Structure 1
């Protein structure tokens, strides 16, 4: 019987290799050949087996074919979280799109020797030094003669380390890019999303900005605010419904409920097939320069938006338009990774958006419950969840019935006193305007920019983008609406008076042809009424107006009544 003692376990070496290929015979023999310093630990048949071996810690390197059992960014992301890196084998035509995943890519036409050398280079860059190797374990008891001596496991590991160190890879082929083998702080490859590193300063100038609309639980009006922002911001805009709890932008804008364009974009991005032309095809036009990326139909489909693929979608949107407005689910964001499956949490997409957005608009309700939820949400924004961009706080549906006689001042004072929020956009309660816009399937800034709610939303748009000029357009629309209302009231006030006036409807009786009228002696001849205008301009309203004017002229030209004559006669001023 033998007992061994270890001060601390030896760090595993980068020798265990997992193969996920359709044809792996040549690569298997090359890797397992003496002197390579590596050993194949499993030939995986599907993605589930590959992830299981990685989660079990049996290997730290992998050679995966891009045509292997539904391989996508989510699988590679989980392998990275498990501490596994390696090499992708892709056809020459698909190498560019797979390089955007951050994993090194080699051509499927490369020989097994080149693949083995590339894998050795990746392993060396992953572990620059093998770390402390424990010495031979001290044997505290004697070994009985009947027990055959066997080399300890640590000794075998040390031999493999020496073999790996002694292995000298051949010269790298010209297609090898050392930049792709740069490792992150945790030993995982640095993931370069889309063309971010290659675009440079010129590409950053063409890169649009990202606005995320978020807020506490309930229905404070996040979707209404997001739709108004998308219609008011200057330049072309993409509105994205990324609410995984209760998506509603399709119904809010009166569009037919079809398949989820966001899920389609995520699937294409996961396989590196999302480009500008494909994104343009799946976008739904709303108005001129405004398009919608429809969200999920049900909340249970949130797994169709893998966090590893969504940064590609946002980058494509940024390069396509000037502004991308994303409506996300409300409430606290839980992006914790499952310890067993290493799968990101339900709120991983929202957490990534909050960290990378240029502007975060937080919308709360204007009642005591909504203000309390808003303050709690703002208080929890610390650490990794704190947005890196600018934060705008909006309080919606502020009304006297829920906040007192001076609702706006009460809400501002409460947020400043308990949350330290000085600059807050307050949106008044305007249920009539909101309901009308909902029935028309348009945003508030499109259907009613001059309403109180529209002018408050225009102020928010100008805060987000000072070059939009939305407040000036809303003011002009408000003045036009007031003028139109005044004209309508004047017309409504005048029409009943002309219709009820008995003289307005009186028409001169038609005399026989050739007959002349015989007015009283001494009376002035009344002027004939102007004839009604015939043709396109002859309307009942114009005829009534002409008749009223004629009646007034006839009344003015009639002789004075006898009562006036007798009064003048009594005063002594009557002349015969």
Structure 2
């Protein structure tokens, strides 16, 4: 049976000739619809009559979100560019189109690329409206077998609802890694109420992550552009500020966040992302198309991260929430293996030896070992919050700061005793 293909290359001088060549000769490809724009193509994708889409880089309003929706609908995508246009090729690849050919390629080569795209298209096993449907396609070409030298690591700091101190841990890890001479980017990715800027005394009201995600979705973000959007807090630490209003969460689409993380790997040796707590899938909502999902950004970060740190509190209520959150994470992203960090450890809430009791409870009820315990130090955290400074700046000898420094060194793969004191540059 011939491969059913949609085309969306209107406006190109070679479009009619190419469609005619594909239809006239026996290439095993049939063009079932010639779409006039992205909206027409997305509507056609929902009909179930096609298996692949052939589109041009010049297609108006083409972005990464559209490519992700096509993939989620089971449509393999192949791009065509004007011969020699490397810029258009790079843009399509950033949008998530892995196979890109020059427009003057022979029809049989284009037909073969379409067949290869269909046979190699990932199947998510989820409905088009499920936020997990777009996770295998983060707007990037397939990963090479070996990573290029200099590719940075991404650490996601996540945890259950409540106040386990996710942001305090994320800020502390990023600051300590930077003080160990590791180029670090701190990203505020909390879609429910990011406060990284407030903790660091950054008064700018423009959310850097929104601008970066917008450029990523449009296929125009690069490492240099990401650097310009981030605050240079110290010589080794940049901060990409978060949403100034929680109702702006629709601007953080999963595909854009995936591209952002890839550029972050090119910009910094270590990227620390402060994530939102919720993994809800909003299954009571019924849509015919891939509607925006609030927690899609969080799921994308967790799926793409090299390491996921689950921050738990050290009292019975927080521990119960952690056990439930870990179970939910296993259900939604079974391939993610989080590391548990117990924060705010102190005497009182847990009788006996708190470390031993907490470790035993998490091992028994969640099947998780505790990677690190971070002691409660209210005086130091209050001083840091009041001054908009980091723990290292207001309480260099704090035991909490020592614990964060040790963990940061492990995550960055450097000795905890190296590095020099760094001062804010702006």
Distance 1:269 1:115, change over 3 A: farther
CA contact (8 A) 2:8 2:38 kept: no
Q: Does 1:320 pair with 2:267? A: yes
Residue in structure 2 matched with residue 303 of structure 1 by the alignment: 250
Secondary structure of residue in 2 paired with 1:308: helix
Residue in structure 2 matched with residue 210 of structure 1 by the alignment: 154
1:183-242 Cα offsets, whole Å, 9 max, x none, are 235499x969658756x75x5331122111010011211000000000112311100111
CA contact (8 A) 2:327 2:366 kept: yes
Contiguous gaps of at least 5 residues in structure 1: 1-11, 128-181, 475-576
Question: Larger C-alpha radius of gyration, 1 or 2?
Answer: 1
Q: Distance in 2 between matches of 1:431 and 1:283?
A: 29
How far the C-alpha of 1:320 sits from its partner, in A, is: 1.9
Please identify, of 280-289 and 93-102, the stretch whose mean Cα deviation from structure 2 is larger. 93-102
Residue in structure 1 matched with residue 62 of structure 2 by the alignment: 71
How far the C-alpha of 1:368 sits from its partner, in A, is: 1.9
1:380-430 Cα offsets, whole Å, 9 max, x none, are 4436624545x4322222344533576555434443444454435333332
CA contact (8 A) 1:458 1:471 kept: no
Residue in structure 2 matched with residue 104 of structure 1 by the alignment: 99
Residue in structure 2 matched with residue 223 of structure 1 by the alignment: 167
Residue in structure 2 matched with residue 271 of structure 1 by the alignment: 218
Question: Which residues in structure 2 correspond to 1:153-192 (within 5 Å)?
Answer: 183-184=120-121, 186=123
Distance 1:458 1:264, change over 3 A: same
Q: Does 1:454 pair with 2:401? A: yes
How far the C-alpha of 1:116 sits from its partner, in A, is: 4.2
Residue in structure 2 matching 1:232, options 129, 154, 176: 176
Q: Does 1:398 pair with 2:345? A: yes
Distance 1:387 1:338, change over 3 A: farther
Question: Which residues in structure 2 correspond to 1:68-147 (within 5 Å)?
Answer: 68-91=59-82, 92=85, 93-100=87-94, 101-107=96-102, 110=104, 114=105, 116-125=107-116
Residue in structure 2 matching 1:56, options 47, 51, 73: 47
CA contact (8 A) 1:20 1:62 kept: no
CA contact (8 A) 2:278 2:295 kept: no
1:362-384 Cα offsets, whole Å, 9 max, x none, are 11222221111012222344366
CA contact (8 A) 1:338 1:345 kept: no
Q: Distance in 2 between matches of 1:125 and 1:422?
A: 43
CA contact (8 A) 1:461 1:468 kept: no
Distance 1:118 1:259, change over 3 A: farther
Residue in structure 1 matching 2:358, options 395, 407, 411: 411
Residue in structure 2 matching 1:18, options 7, 16, 29: 7
Distance 1:424 1:69, change over 3 A: same
CA contact (8 A) 1:78 1:343 kept: no
1:329-351 Cα offsets, whole Å, 9 max, x none, are 11335398977214574333323
Q: Distance in 1 between matches of 2:313 and 2:360?
A: 15
Contiguous gaps of at least 5 residues in structure 2: 126-135, 422-426
Distance 1:366 1:67, change over 3 A: same
The two structures have a TM-score, normalised by structure 1, of 0.61
Distance 1:195 1:58, change over 3 A: closer
Secondary structure of residue in 2 paired with 1:427: strand
Secondary structure of residue in 1 paired with 2:80: strand
CA contact (8 A) 1:18 1:59 kept: no
Question: Which residues in structure 2 correspond to 1:358-437 (within 5 Å)?
Answer: 358-382=306-330, 385-386=333-334, 388=336, 391-404=338-351, 407-437=354-384
The two structures have a TM-score, normalised by structure 2, of 0.81
1:92-118 Cα offsets, whole Å, 9 max, x none, are 14223323423432345x3xxx47444
CA contact (8 A) 1:239 1:291 kept: yes
For the aligned residue pairs, the C-alpha RMSD in angstroms reads 3.5
Residue in structure 1 matched with residue 38 of structure 2 by the alignment: 47
Secondary structure of residue in 2 paired with 1:316: helix
